[in-house]
Structure 1
Amino acid sequence: MKTVENPPPFGLTNVMEISSIENSKITGVSLYSGRAEITRLYKLKIKTGQNQVIIKGLPTSIDQSSLRVEGRGAATIHDVTVSYTPAPPAVTTSTALSAFELKKERTQKAIERCRKSLASLETYVGTLNVERIDVSQIGNVVEKYDTEAAKLDDKLLELEKQLQETNQEIQDERKKLTGPVRNVQLGLQASIGVFAELEDQVEIALIYAVANASWKAAYDIRVDMQTKETPVTLIYKAAITQSTGEAWEDVPLTLETATPTFGVSIPKLNPWHLSIYKPMPAWSAPVSFSVAPQAVGGAGGTVRRRARHAIQEEYSAPAGLVDDDDYDRLMTHREVNVSSKGNVSATFRVPGLITVPSDGQHHNVTIVQLKLDAALSWIAVPKEDTKTHLKAKIKNASEYSLLAGTASVYVDGSFISRSDVPSVSPQESFDCPLGVDPSIRVTYHPRSKRVSQSGFYRATANHVFSQRITIFNTKSTAVDNVKIVDQIPVSEDSQIAVKLTSPALIVPSNPGTTNGAPNIKAVQPLKVSSGIVAQWDGVDEPGFDVLALAKDGKLNWICSVPSQEKVNFNLEWAVTAPVGVSVTGL
Structure 2
Amino acid sequence: MPIFRSLHGARAASVAALATFLCVPPLHAQAEAPSRIARVKLYPGSATVERVARVAAGARSFTFRCLPQGLDAASLQVSADAAVRIGETSVQVQDRDIAGGCASPLDERVREAQDQLAGARAETDALELAHSYLKTMAGTAPGTSPGAVPPSSIANTTETLRRSAQDTLLRLHQAKRRQETLELSLKALIAEQGRVAGPRARVSTVTVTLAAEREAELRLTYQVRGPSWSPSYRATLDSAAATVRLERLALVAQGTGEDWNGVQLTLSTGQPTRATAGGLPRPWRLDVAPPVPPVAPAPALARMAAPAAAPAAGGAEVAEAVPSFEISVDDTAYATEFAVPQRITVPSGGPRVTLALGQGDARAQLVTRAVPAVEEAAYLVAQFPAPAGVWPAAPVALYRDGAFVGSGRLDTAELARTGLAFGRDERVVVRAEAPREATGSAGLTGARTERQQQRTYSVENRHATPVALQVLDAAPVSQNEQITVESRYDPAPAETAWNQQPGTIAWSQPLAAGATARFGATHTIRYPKELRLQERR
Q: Shorter chain as normaliser: what TM range?
A: 0.5 to 0.7
Aligned to 1:95: none
Do the aligned residues in 2 keep the contact of 1:397 with 1:428 (CA within 8 Å)?
Answer: no
Q: Does 1:68 align with 2:84?
A: no
Aligned to 1:223: 237
Deviation at 1:13, TM superposition (A): 11
Three-state SS of the structure 1 residue aligned to 2:92 is strand
Q: Does 1:375 align with 2:389?
A: no
Query: Using a 3 Å threshold, how does the CA distance of structure 1 residues 562 and 84 change in structure 2: closer, same or farther?
Result: same
Give the CA RMSD over aligned residues: 4.5
Alpha-carbon distance in 2 for matches of 1:46, 1:439? 77
Alpha-carbon distance in 1 for matches of 2:270, 2:398? 27
Aligned to 1:190: 206
Do the aligned residues in 2 keep the contact of 1:186 with 1:245 (CA within 8 Å)?
Answer: no
Q: Does 1:211 align with 2:170?
A: no
Query: Using a 3 Å threshold, how does the CA distance of structure 1 residues 243 and 429 change in structure 2: closer, same or farther?
Result: farther
Partner of residue 521 from structure 2, selected from 571, 577, 580: 571
Q: Does 1:26 align with 2:37?
A: yes
Report how many residues are paired. Answer: 381
Deviations 1:214-271 (A, max 9, x none): 011100011111113xx11000111100111121122211101001158834544565
Aligned to 1:245: 257
Alpha-carbon distance in 1 for matches of 2:340, 2:423? 32
Do the aligned residues in 2 keep the contact of 1:17 with 1:56 (CA within 8 Å)?
Answer: no
Aligned to 2:343: 353
Alpha-carbon distance in 2 for matches of 1:484, 1:278? 54
Do the aligned residues in 2 keep the contact of 1:15 with 1:54 (CA within 8 Å)?
Answer: no
1:446-525 matches, within 5 Å, as: 446=434, 466-485=454-473, 487=475, 499-503=486-490
Q: Does 1:534 align with 2:523?
A: no
Do the aligned residues in 1 keep the contact of 2:55 with 2:62 (CA within 8 Å)?
Answer: no
Alpha-carbon distance in 2 for matches of 1:540, 1:578? 30
Deviations 1:460-480 (A, max 9, x none): 999876543221111122111
Alpha-carbon distance in 1 for matches of 2:457, 2:274? 59
Query: Using a 3 Å threshold, how does the CA distance of structure 1 residues 489 and 78 change in structure 2: closer, same or farther?
Result: closer
Alpha-carbon distance in 2 for matches of 1:70, 1:491? 64
Deviation at 1:52, TM superposition (A): 2.5
Letter in 2 for 1:540: W
Alpha-carbon distance in 2 for matches of 1:44, 1:540? 66
Query: Using a 3 Å threshold, how does the CA distance of structure 1 residues 84 and 384 change in structure 2: closer, same or farther?
Result: closer
Q: Does 1:59 align with 2:68?
A: yes
Do the aligned residues in 2 keep the contact of 1:215 with 1:238 (CA within 8 Å)?
Answer: yes
Three-state SS of the structure 2 residue aligned to 1:534 is coil
Deviation at 1:71, TM superposition (A): 0.9
Letter in 2 for 1:391: V
Partner of residue 410 from structure 2, selected from 403, 407, 421: 421
Do the aligned residues in 1 keep the contact of 2:46 with 2:273 (CA within 8 Å)?
Answer: no
Deviation at 1:16, TM superposition (A): 5.7
Q: Does 1:437 align with 2:395?
A: no
Query: Using a 3 Å threshold, how does the CA distance of structure 1 residues 17 and 33 change in structure 2: closer, same or farther?
Result: farther
Q: Does 1:45 align with 2:33?
A: no
Alpha-carbon distance in 2 for matches of 1:262, 1:574? 51
Deviation at 1:29, TM superposition (A): 1.0
Three-state SS of the structure 1 residue aligned to 2:499 is coil
Do the aligned residues in 2 keep the contact of 1:43 with 1:202 (CA within 8 Å)?
Answer: yes
Do the aligned residues in 1 keep the contact of 2:383 with 2:416 (CA within 8 Å)?
Answer: no
Alpha-carbon distance in 2 for matches of 1:77, 1:59? 23
Aligned to 1:79: 88
Do the aligned residues in 2 keep the contact of 1:500 with 1:573 (CA within 8 Å)?
Answer: yes
Three-state SS of the structure 2 residue aligned to 1:541 is helix
Letter in 1 for 2:351: Q
Alpha-carbon distance in 2 for matches of 1:41, 1:52? 14
Query: Using a 3 Å threshold, how does the CA distance of structure 1 residues 584 and 416 change in structure 2: closer, same or farther?
Result: same
Alpha-carbon distance in 2 for matches of 1:414, 1:447? 37
TM-score normalized by the length of structure 2 = 0.60
Query: Using a 3 Å threshold, how does the CA distance of structure 1 residues 185 and 68 change in structure 2: closer, same or farther?
Result: farther
Alpha-carbon distance in 2 for matches of 1:58, 1:245? 8
Alpha-carbon distance in 2 for matches of 1:268, 1:576? 46
Aligned to 1:332: none
Deviation at 1:381, TM superposition (A): 2.3
1:268-417 matches, within 5 Å, as: 268-269=280-281, 343-398=333-388, 400-417=389-406
Do the aligned residues in 2 keep the contact of 1:58 with 1:186 (CA within 8 Å)?
Answer: no
Structure 1: state its 5+ residue gaps: 1-11, 91-138, 147-180, 281-340, 504-527
Alpha-carbon distance in 1 for matches of 2:202, 2:478? 67
Deviation at 1:273, TM superposition (A): 5.1
Three-state SS of the structure 2 residue aligned to 1:441 is strand
Deviations 1:284-339 (A, max 9, x none): xxxxxxxxxxxxxxxxxxxxxxxxxxxxxxxxxxxxxxxxxxxxxxxxxxxxxxxx
Letter in 2 for 1:558: S
Bigger radius of gyration among the two = 1
Query: Using a 3 Å threshold, how does the CA distance of structure 1 residues 55 and 458 change in structure 2: closer, same or farther?
Result: closer
Aligned to 1:122: none
Structure 2: state its 5+ residue gaps: 1-25, 101-142, 150-192, 293-330
Letter in 1 for 2:63: I
Do the aligned residues in 2 keep the contact of 1:222 with 1:234 (CA within 8 Å)?
Answer: yes
Letter in 2 for 1:379: R
Letter in 1 for 2:252: I
Deviation at 1:562, TM superposition (A): 0.8
Query: Using a 3 Å threshold, how does the CA distance of structure 1 residues 18 and 568 change in structure 2: closer, same or farther?
Result: same
Partner of residue 257 from structure 1, selected from 248, 269, 272: 269
Letter in 2 for 1:220: R
Do the aligned residues in 1 keep the contact of 2:346 with 2:352 (CA within 8 Å)?
Answer: no
